Chain A
Amino acid sequence: MNFDYLQDCMDATVNTYEKMLGNVPVVVGERYTQTGIINVHDVTALIGFNGDGLGSLLISMSQENAMKTISKFLYTELTEVDDDVLDGVEEIANIVAGAAAARFKFKTGLGLPTILLGEKQRIHGNEDAPWLFITMKTEAFGEFTLGATLKEV
């Protein structure tokens, strides 16, 4: 992959958080690549890319950070991880993926988002489609992980 699709996803994330949540996330540490079994946080939204770019994007965070984030999104105080919180995280992933796909250098569409919920969730990354990850954070909602895998078909 000779273009920086993770950067596109990061730009899309910053834009989405700024407009819809009123908070600009910053990068924490270095980006990293993973294959094989990959640990994710308790609340993970996954969405597929299709078209000329094939892959997936994920946004993963702790339950506590998910509640904080979606409380702001909905202007209500959410104190448990319920349908509202999960739908909210799902929609954030949907918007980020849409904004990222529009930045990709080849025509990419979106699938429908889905949520993984629970402790000690893991995903599997294929050797020929490694995941790129970056940790980001906002003052208000804490840390979250942004990940993406993409290849041109």
Chain B
Amino acid sequence: MRVLLIDDSTTMRKIQRRALNTLGIEDIDEAPNGKEGVDKLQAESYSYNLVMLDMNMPEMGGLEVLKAVRADPNSNNIPIVMCTSVADKEQVMEAIKSGASNYVVKPFTPEDLQKKVSKYLS
């Protein structure tokens, strides 16, 4: 099980990493913005079982990343869970339409996050 965390906040990446560790997931890569996230996917030959994707980021926002990843046949099957704040409601609708697998709304508890990702674990 291999996960890529794309989030501009180091804090959020640490919190997500910790929640995933609790589920036994240790193989986790990180990217601090959308642009580097897309590069990382490519550089690692799309070998991720799950991508956690922040919505609000500089450089390249979550929606843009999602659309790019879904447009690429190499990565259009990778589950993507969007990490959004409550204010992003409309963007969440657009994300679902654009192929996001699920979303978790900040603020969340570690259990909330674990629930959202557990169905992609195997």
Nearest residue, chain B, Cβ from A104: B87
Interface residues of B, count at CB 8 A? 20
- Tell me if B77 is interfacial: C-beta within 8 Å of chain A: no
Bound Cα distance from A95 to B108, whole angstroms: 10
* A87 pairs with B11, CB closer than 8 A: yes
Q: Which listed residue (A74, A88, A110) contacts B85, Cβ 8 A? A: A110
Whether A91 contacts B87 in the complex (CB less than 8 A), given A19-B109, A112-B58, comes out as no
- Tell me if A16 is interfacial: C-beta within 8 Å of chain B: yes
Bound Cα distance from A16 to B107, whole angstroms: 5
Q: Which listed residue (A70, A99, A112) contacts B11, Cβ 8 A? A: A70
* B87 pairs with A108, CB closer than 8 A: yes
Interface of B is mostly: helix
- Tell me if A135 is interfacial: C-beta within 8 Å of chain B: no
Q: Quick one: CB contact mask for A120-148 with B, threshold 8 Å, 1 for yes? A: 00000000000000000000000000000
* B86 pairs with A102, CB closer than 8 A: yes
Q: Which residues of A contact B56 (CB under 8 A)?
A: 94, 98, 110, 112
* A99 pairs with B9, CB closer than 8 A: no
- Tell me if A90 is interfacial: C-beta within 8 Å of chain B: yes
Q: Which of A75, A91, A108 has the most CB of B within 10 A?
A: A91
Query: Can you sample 24 A-B contacts with CB below 8 Å?
Result: A12-B86, A15-B107, A16-B107, A19-B108, A19-B109, A20-B106, A20-B107, A20-B109, A74-B14, A74-B15, A87-B9, A88-B11, A90-B9, A91-B9, A91-B12, A94-B106, A95-B107, A98-B85, A99-B86, A101-B85, A102-B87, A103-B86, A108-B87, A112-B58
